[in-house]
Amino acid sequence: MDKSFKVRLGYVAMSVMLQNASPSQTMTVKQFEQIADYEAGVRKLERIALSNLDNCFRLLKHNKAHDISFFRLSSRLVPLANHPLTEGWKYEKALAPLLKKLGEFIQQENMRVDFHPDHFVVLNNNSKEILQQSLRTLIMHYKLIKGMGMSHVHRCVLHIGGKKEGREEGLEQFIENFAKVPRVIQEMIMLENDDVNYKVEDVLYIGEKLHIPVILDLHHFDVLHESTDLLSLWERVVQTWKRSPLPIKIHISSPKDGETDRKHHDYIDVQRFYDFLTLISGTVDQVDVMIEAKQKDEALLKLFEELSQIDNIQAQNPSSITINSTRLS
Give residue 97's pLDDT.
98
Note the pLDDT tens digit of each residue in 110-119. Answer: 999 999 999 8
Q: What is the pLDDT of residue 164?
A: 85
pLDDT of residue 181: 96
The pLDDT tens digits of the residues spanning 138-158 come to 999 999 999 999 999 999 999
Q: Which residues, 6 or more positions from 326, have their beta carbon under 8 angstroms from its beta carbon?
A: 2, 278, 311, 312
Q: What is the pLDDT of residue 135?
A: 96
Decide: helix, strand or coil at residue 12: strand
Instruction: Please state, in angstroms and as integers, the Cα–Cα distance from residue 62 to each residue in 104, 129, 209, 316, following that order.
Output: 16, 40, 40, 18
pLDDT of residue 328: 40
* CA distances, 321 to each of 52, 68, 291 (Å): 31, 12, 15
Query: Domains, the chain, ranges and CATH?
Result: 5-323 (3.20.20.150)
Give the side-chain half-sphere CA count within 13 A for 129. 2
Ranges of the chain with pLDDT below 70: 1-2, 325-329
> What local confidence, expressed as pLDDT, does residue 316 receive?
84
How far apart CA 195 and CA 206 sit, in angstroms, is: 17
